[in-house]
Amino acid sequence: MNSPKVPHTPPAPPYDRRRFLRIAGGAAAAGALAPNAFSHLQGETPTPEGVDLADILGGERLAGVEFTSDEREQIRRSIGDLLGVYDTLRAARLRNDEGPAEVFDPRLPGFAFRSQAAPARLLPPERPNLPNDDADIAYATIAELSHWIDTGQITSERLTTLYLDRLAKLNQQLECVVTPLRDAALDRARRADAEIAQGNRRGPLHGLPYGIKDLFDTAGVRTTWGAAPFKDRVPDADATVVRKLDKAGAVCIAKLTCGALAYGDIWFGGRTRNPWNTEQGSSGSSAGSASAVAAGCCAFTIGTETYGSIASPSARCGATGFRPTFGRVSRAGAMALCWSLDKAGPICRSAGDCAAVLDAVAGPDPADEATIDLPLAIDMSPRVRGMRIGYLKDEFESDAATGDDATTLEALRDLGCELVPRTLEPGPYGELIFFIISVEAAAAFDELTRFNLDDRMQWQDDNAWPNTFRTTRLAPAVEFMQARRLRRRFMKRAAALFEGVDAVIAPRRHGALHALTNMTGHPAITIRQGFREDGTPTAVTLWGGLFDDAGLLRLGGALERRLDLWNQRPPIG
């Protein structure tokens, strides 16, 4: 493409963006922004001066390149065109749910998937009769709760009241609830009871109370994303996951805390706590989901993960977290942090519970172009003998491995699994994924930065989002494209790691594998592995092949039952 020549003399005047910025800033102050998640916000936009040679020199240092004096002068004369493109993009006022044109697909060329569609085969209830103690009911499995409702031993209304009361009591210590939904939940529970009494049983989740991370839209109920700038945000439609759970007959009892803009356990109202030790935060942005379900405050919860936000709080709180394959569950109506990495999945008290919930929420959705229509075919029967499990041999034999790690490998052998040694080639997995997240997230929340609204965020440390968004503003676009290319290389590396095995395991929560598999889209399950001397749980994660969510759930469930730690309760009650 030919470009018009730029005259060498006289020099082009400094590019002045003040007119555009004055218009944008005035629109924001007047509340006249285009209808989107930012339309209720107000703030001032900084007004930069024209670009000079010192700015270009600073840009060179940040980008790690060096130009000659003549090249700098040429850039100074022509950079106004690039800045004009920036202004055009900003004038578009993109919504949070408007992702990039390129939709991430975890499948490499030659990907083969052999499973056929089949009804889910879930675990039967271990206790057929309703316990007398409310705490025993609260910590029951989905299979048991469903059976007791189905056989008339308990009503959804009574179960919902039990969980609502428990949540209200324990929330004083856990800080895991943003918005309780008592009246709406009880009304929904009564309707569920009426439907069941008429023989209209919808499935295993019918009448079961659940909580959902407060970044999933709920029509007419505020969805705050855990951040002060959005604490009064009220959507007018339900997220796809919420609609699917409503169709399954489940009863939403609370919007649960989310680390501000899906980062950490600090939200605008405080810090969510670990039920095993309330002096600790619950970790990860699905903080409220893991804390609430681990404390027996609901039957199940829904969380999200971009880089550890299901696994990390599940490990800390002793919950069972399942991160599905990227594209397995719709994110439509959920806050977008990183379009190419965000995943939604269940956080429960057992793998069997995760299977029941995933079966209800999985599936393609036209509203989320990243969803992929492949059969799920869950089968939670304990048939895992003969499964081949890749394990990072050198790391299990290193000083970093613990006795719990050795016990877990032995348990897999006892189940009849074949352990296959694997080696993960070193790489900058953590650095790469956080760079990708930072760039996409900075774009998703660009207006917070440009209108200085990030000052309203509670967490303002160097590692918090406001500073990350500002810093990422200075990242070269070329480096982001290089990061995407390197991600493709790592997808091929992961494919080789999973070749010929049904799952992969590493000691404790393995940072490199979490980073790598979040980038490649592989599913993961986090379960209890042991307990520390202070009584808090430890966890192990297993990773499965792409879209083999069912096989990973079956393996995770078998290992969980073999270790026999999943049903121990935290001291909170």
* C-beta separation of 29 from 44 below 8 A: yes
Amino acid at 429: Y
Residues 89 and 190 occupy one common structural domain: no
Residues 216 and 275 occupy one common structural domain: yes
**pLDDT band (50, 70, 90) for residue 36:** low
What digits encode the pLDDT tens for the residues 328-385? 999 999 999 999 999 999 999 999 999 999 999 999 999 999 999 999 999 999 899 9
Identify whether 438 is a catalytic site residue: no
How confident is the model at residue 81, as a pLDDT?
85
Amino acid at 55: D
Amino acid at 91: A
What digits encode the pLDDT tens for the residues 53-107? 899 999 999 889 999 999 999 988 888 888 888 888 889 989 999 999 999 999 9
Among 309, 312, 314, 438, the active-site one is 309
Identify whether 244 is a catalytic site residue: no
Measured in whole angstroms, the distance separating CA 77 from the mean position of its chain's CA atoms is 44
Domain containing 45 equals 1-93
Question: The tokens of 315 are what?
Answer: 């490990």
Distance CA 318, CA 300 (A): 14
Task: Tell me which residue of 296, 345, 382 sits closest to 518, measured CA to CA.
Answer: 345
Average confidence score pLDDT of the chain: 91
Residues 172 and 288 occupy one common structural domain: yes
At residue 48, does pLDDT exceed 60? Answer: no
Residues 206 and 345 occupy one common structural domain: yes
The number of beta carbons lying within 10 Å of the beta carbon of residue 124 is 11
Residues 232 and 142 occupy one common structural domain: yes
At residue 10, does pLDDT exceed 50? Answer: no
At residue 8, does pLDDT exceed 50? Answer: no
How confident is the model at residue 45, as a pLDDT?
47
Residues 144 and 54 occupy one common structural domain: no
Q: Highest mean pLDDT: which of 25-29, 116-120, 303-307, 504-508?
A: 303-307
Domain end call among 93, 124, 158: 93
Distance CA 55, CA 391 (A): 50
At residue 168, does pLDDT exceed 70? Answer: yes
- Total number of domains constituting the chain: 2
At residue 289, does pLDDT exceed 50? Answer: yes
Amino acid at 403: G
- Is 122 inside any structural domain? no
Report the DSSP beta bridge partners of residue 538: 530
Tell me the mean pLDDT in the region 109-113.
94
Which CATH number fits the domain that encloses residue 207? 3.90.1300.10
How confident is the model at residue 39, as a pLDDT?
58
- Judging by DSSP bridges, how do beta strands 503-505 and 537-544 pair with one another? antiparallel
Residues 74 and 25 occupy one common structural domain: yes
How confident is the model at residue 49, as a pLDDT?
58
How confident is the model at residue 382, as a pLDDT?
85
What digits encode the pLDDT tens for the residues 196-251? 999 999 999 999 999 999 999 999 999 999 999 999 999 999 999 999 999 999 99
How confident is the model at residue 27, as a pLDDT?
33
Residues 41 and 147 occupy one common structural domain: no
How confident is the model at residue 41, as a pLDDT?
59
Among 213, 244, 255, 343, the active-site one is 213
- Is 465 inside any structural domain? no
What are the angstrom distances between the C-alpha of 142 and each of 126, 146, 203, 257? 11, 6, 11, 22
- The DSSP secondary structure of 498-558, one letter per residue, reads HTT-SEEE-SSS-HHHHHHHHHHT--EEEEEEEE-TTS-EEEEEEEE-TT-HHHHHHHHHH
**pLDDT band (50, 70, 90) for residue 175:** very high
How confident is the model at residue 42, as a pLDDT?
57
**pLDDT band (50, 70, 90) for residue 43:** low
At residue 269, does pLDDT exceed 70? Answer: yes
What are the angstrom distances between the C-alpha of 481 and each of 469, 478, 484, 487, 493? 18, 5, 5, 10, 19
Among 146, 156, 282, 285, the active-site one is 285
At residue 255, does pLDDT exceed 60? Answer: yes
Distance CA 209, CA 254 (A): 9
How confident is the model at residue 40, as a pLDDT?
57
How confident is the model at residue 90, as a pLDDT?
87
How confident is the model at residue 115, as a pLDDT?
85
Least confident of 79-88, 387-396, 481-490: 79-88
Residues 42 and 181 occupy one common structural domain: no
- Is 120 inside any structural domain? no
Task: Tell me which residue of 338, 330, 369, 527 sits closest to 439, measured CA to CA.
Answer: 338
What are the angstrom distances between the C-alpha of 115 and each of 95, 206, 325, 375, 551? 37, 27, 15, 7, 10
* C-beta separation of 412 from 385 below 8 A: no
How confident is the model at residue 85, as a pLDDT?
87
- Is 458 inside any structural domain? no
At residue 431, does pLDDT exceed 60? Answer: yes
Share of residues in the chain with pLDDT > 70 (%): 91
Identify whether 381 is a catalytic site residue: no
- Is 521 inside any structural domain? yes
Residues 392 and 505 occupy one common structural domain: yes
Residues 277 and 360 occupy one common structural domain: yes
Residues 179 and 262 occupy one common structural domain: yes
- Is 110 inside any structural domain? no
